[in-house]
Amino acid sequence: MGANLKEVRERISSVKSTQQITKAMKMVSAAKLRKAQNAITQMRPYADKLNEMLMNILSNLEGDAGTSFGTEREIENAAVVVVTSTRGLCGAFNTNIVKEASRVIEERFAEHRRNKKLTIYFIGKKGFDGMKKKFADVEFNQEHQDLFQDLSFDNIATVSQMLMDSFEDKKYDNIVVCYARFKNAATTIPMADQFLPVPKIEIDDADLKQEEKEKTTGKADYIFEPSKKELLDHLIPSILQTKFQKYLLDTHASEHGARMTAMSKATDNAEDLIKELKITYNKARQEAITKELSEIVGGAAALESA
């Protein structure tokens, strides 16, 4: 019985140590989350509006925009960018992004995978860890795994510019980014977004009256100054780089929210386990005391009868 009591005491001590670690990690993640959440909530309206404007411009210029970023072409080579965290201990966060990336590959690029015409780029190490076995037949690119170490616009722009150059040079005809959209600390949504070519704005003709259709499908009333080409040559790459930065800031905030939630649950579970172990310990201790008392009473009775 003494051995059992010692074992339970050691387990309680071990769980308490683990609980202290999970509490500390929860506090660290909460502090990092505030900063990351501020970054994405301040940037998202700006980035979304720029992206809407970009889609509107490329949807209404009818091929005379002087840029290839909105040009749909037959997909011969494709790339999927998988944005995950570098560290773990954040629940199913990375697994959900990997599942979404796997779905995209299997549904949209299965033929390109078979023909060795697909490349997977990894930002964050957990994406590679989750896909290296299942997609061992696909070309991997891990050069930008550590991008989360510096989330400045200039550093991120080197990767987005590389992807844009690859699209313009027709190395890739379609580029999809899989990331996590931050909703709140407890909720992140795995997303697959077409980075290039820029998707066109689709209008459901059945839901529009004739005059609304004419107004909506007509060319947007843009005035370009300086020249259209000069402006778009500068504007479109900047918008695309901002859009790509949003992918990373969204995922960064989502990671810390997921880790904070996971560590909070782990701390609560540790507390529940400690309570159960204390009950077990007290029962075992009570049984040991009762047994000792019984032995003493039995010994005393034996002495009296002797």
In tens, the pLDDT along 146-175 reads 999 999 999 999 999 999 999 999 999 999
In tens, the pLDDT along 85-134 reads 999 999 999 999 999 999 999 999 999 999 999 999 999 999 999 999 99
187-196 sheet: strands from edge to edge: 139-141, 118-123, 78-83, 174-184, 187-196
Rounded Cα gap, residues 93 and 257, in angstroms: 10
Residues paired with residue 80 on neighbouring β-strands, in sequence order? 120, 176
Contact 124, 83 (CB under 8 A): yes
Does position 6 have pLDDT exceeding 90, yes or no? no
Name the residue with higher pLDDT: 290 or 202: 290
Active-site positions?
A: 90
Task: Give the burial class of 83: count Cβ atoms within 10 A of its Cβ; 0-12 exposed, 13-18 middle, 19 or more buried.
Answer: buried
* % of the chain surpassing 90 pLDDT: 66
pTM for the complete prediction?
Answer: 0.83
Q: What per-residue confidence (pLDDT) applies to 206?
A: 45
Q: What per-residue confidence (pLDDT) applies to 289?
A: 83
Q: Give domain 21-204+230-262's CATH superfamily.
A: ATP synthase, F1 complex, gamma subunit (3.40.1380.10)
- Find the mean pLDDT for residues 180-193: 94
- Find the mean pLDDT for residues 8-34: 94
In tens, the pLDDT along 260-292 reads 999 999 999 999 999 999 998 898 888 888 888
129 closest CA partner among 101, 91, 95 = 95
Name the residue with higher pLDDT: 300 or 220: 300
